Amino acid sequence: MDAALPSTPTNTALPERLIAHLDMDAFYASVELLRYPDLLGQAVVIGGRRSHAPQTLADGSRSYSRLRDYTGRGVVTTSTYAARDLGVFSGMGLMKAALRAPDAILLPTDFDAYRLYSRLFKAAVAELASVIEDRGIDEIYMDLSDIPGIRDAVAHDPLGGLRAIAREIKNSVFQATGLTCSIGITPNKLLSKIASELDKPDGITLLMAADIQTRIWPLGVRKINGIGPKAAAKLLALGIETVEQLAAAEPLMLIAQFGQSFGAWLHEAAHGRDSRAVVTHSEPVSISRETTFEHDLHAVHDRAELSAIFTRLCEQLASDLLRKGYQGRTIGLKLRFEGFHTVTRDLTLAQPTQDAQAIRRAAGACLKRVPLDKRIRLLGVRVGGLSRPGTPEPAATTKRPRPNGGAAVPRPENLVLF
């Protein structure tokens, strides 16, 4: 399971800081391929409903759903590299994806399995690198600066120690999970995030300050984590499409166009400068659960279905709180209606809770303050004001008054809350 020859920096002097970014390769799809190895090399899209699960036939073979047969409003969670070659990427609507790859296999998401493999790969890495920043289910940062032997030359290779550590981490991940990952190692987090994408899949990219002009500057500005579609569109309107063009732009012009903070950051990022440390622990601000419906639901006609979904979200949220060891005082509700109009409401309790029924009651009270005169496409529940059980709770904050003064919304008699 060894990668192709890793990228080698032109300047072999190692900086004081050595930061790695590890990104699992097509993570969700790769987990599914462990379960369905007969799909290796095929275009596979993850994002279907449970009804799209493979069916085992009488002869022991499997029957798979095809993307062409999908109807609904779901989106692609992820896709294999073969599907990406056909233009299917995460976040794309499944109906649009079906136009590009109608013969692609469609599989449902299985977040329980993905979370399990996430824990496995992170535990494997933790045996080799102790300074780790968890950035989500499929990626982490590591500070490798003080790993023994990392600065040693091996077989006349000045970067041999660094390369050996990277291979050892990748091999440990593979042995623990059967999955491949890509690693970028640079002087800082910003460059490492970019580097981990340069030689995917199953790649190792070593990149130092002297390599910024040759490897980073030719890239499009969207490759810099933090430059989104709106900022990229504005930069393009200014004639700035590549990182090199951004690096050459006058800092004062960028500040005038994007504001002091973001404009100055754009200049620094284009030159590969980033002083952020690897943060080993941070407390979440809130924990939430939400779901987007395959078709818009009506508050009256679909009351039973909405009620069951609402209750399940609250139960899942309570389970998340218990598993992560939190309780919360502020219960929030999120509704997105047809036309993409989104409404949020929240309620602060006298005492923190991690109980599903208490969360359901508080979220239900929030629901009474929302006009339910349009069909609903998304429902979410959130718990904020988090604390650890047995510790002093954070002081309650004063909220701005909500529309209607936070009062219950008058409803027709036939409009029943779910």
Element holding 182 (H helix, E strand): strand 181-186
Q: Is 50 exposed, middle or buried (0-12, 13-18, 19+ CB in 10 A)?
A: exposed
For residues 415 and 371, what is the distance between their CA atoms, to the nearest angstrom? 10
User: Do 215 and 198 touch, CB atoms closer than 8 A?
Assistant: yes
Between helix 303-324 and helix 356-367 the angle, nearest 10°, is 130
- Report which residue type is found at 81: Y
Query: Which pair of structure tokens corresponds to residue 150?
Result: 């990392």
Q: Do you find a cis peptide bond into 37, omega within 30 degrees of 0?
A: no
User: Do 403 and 333 touch, CB atoms closer than 8 A?
Assistant: no
Four-residue CA torsion sign, 402, 408, 409, 414: positive
Q: 177: which residues sit within 8 A by CB, 6+ positions away?
A: 117, 120, 121, 124
Q: Which residues are catalytic?
A: 139
Element holding 336 (H helix, E strand): strand 327-337
Q: Is 21 exposed, middle or buried (0-12, 13-18, 19+ CB in 10 A)?
A: buried
CA distances 168 to 1, 105, 183, 193, 229, Å, are 12, 34, 11, 19, 36
- Quickly tell me which residue has 């070659």 as its tokens: 85
